[in-house]
Amino acid sequence: MDRPAAEPGWTPEPVDADLAAEDLVKELTAGRNAYAWKFRIPYWYCHFTERQQMSGYLRLMEEAKDRLVADRGVSITTLLDEQNWIPVAPHSRITVLDEAPMEEDLYVVLTVESVFKGFTYDSRMDTYVVRDGKLVQTATGRITHGYAVIENRRDWSLVSFDDRMNAALEGRAA
């Protein structure tokens, strides 16, 4: 069977991870402003096929953002409740590099790459599987996020990050 041969519009960063390490998730995030977790690919991410589909990767990209900010004390619910901030994502892009079959363990890594003028930030999502004793990258993607305050159905505005949000995006305490 043919395998994907896509190339992203950027060069994926090689990851130097010790597959024999006790915690591969920690290996994948060591020294990086990143959040990661291990995920077993469910059938509903595969849509009537045996392999994860693009919509599954899009869900994972949004979940990765949700997990990262929650882990750093600024969950989406917290920001909605306390500041009426809702995430906005003006741009995202994913490239599937290799197949990821149903029920395989997928390692999802979201790395915050840059913050632009305190209004938006760019993150990169990389996914990996362990096959034949090697780390195989199955997808890479980029997404831009910001936050908006929605006044009503027609009026909203992008908000600048406060100290707490900047600290979370930089991977440090506020």
pLDDT at 92 over 70: yes
pLDDT band at 19 (very low <50, low <70, confident <90, very high): confident
User: What's the mean pLDDT in 28-52?
Assistant: 91
What is the rounded distance in angstroms from the CA atom of residue 166 to the CA atom of residue 174? Answer: 8
Candidates 106, 102, 111, 113; CA nearest to 137 is 106
Of 153 and 102, the structure prediction assigns the larger pLDDT to 102
Percent of the chain with pLDDT over 70: 91
Q: What is the pLDDT of residue 61?
A: 95
pLDDT at 87 over 50: yes
pLDDT at 100 over 90: yes
pTM of the predicted protein model: 0.88
Q: What is the pLDDT of residue 1?
A: 47
pLDDT at 45 over 90: no
- Tell me the pLDDT tens digit for each residue of 145-168: 999 998 888 888 999 999 999 999
What is the rounded distance in angstroms from the CA atom of residue 82 to the CA atom of residue 100? Answer: 39
Q: What is the pLDDT of residue 164?
A: 94
Q: What is the pLDDT of residue 47?
A: 80
Candidates 56, 54, 35, 55; CA nearest to 103 is 56
- Lowest model confidence (mean pLDDT) among 11-25, 79-93, 96-110, 154-168: 11-25
Backbone φ/ψ region at 116: left (φ over 0), alpha (ψ -120 to 50), beta: beta
Q: What is the pLDDT of residue 9?
A: 67
